[in-house]
Amino acid sequence: MKRILRALKSVYDFFAGDAILLAGTAIAFAAAFLLSHLATNALAAIAFVLLIVAALVTTLLREAGGSSR
């Protein structure tokens, strides 16, 4: 069991290593998929790019808050 968890952790670290980036990117892709079917292409594209940048901004602000403390 420990080995499986360690392997999963290695895979997670290899691809993301950051829960905020992983969750933010997943939300951006899910939103793009939904909005491309429900809303206009322009709105879906803008939301997609902004959500990706929002994930980056959030994780950086968290890091900055942690290091200043």
Nearer to another protein (CB atom), residue 7 or residue 49? 49
The CB-of-42 to another protein minimum distance in angstroms stands at 8
How many chain residues interact with another protein (CB under 8 A)? 31
Contact 58, 24 (CB under 8 A): yes
Asked if 36 is part of the footprint of another protein (rule: CB under 8 A), the reply reads: yes
The CB-of-6 to another protein minimum distance in angstroms stands at 15
Asked if 57 is part of the footprint of another protein (rule: CB under 8 A), the reply reads: yes
Residue 14 buriedness (CB in 10 A; 0-12 / 13-18 / 19+): exposed
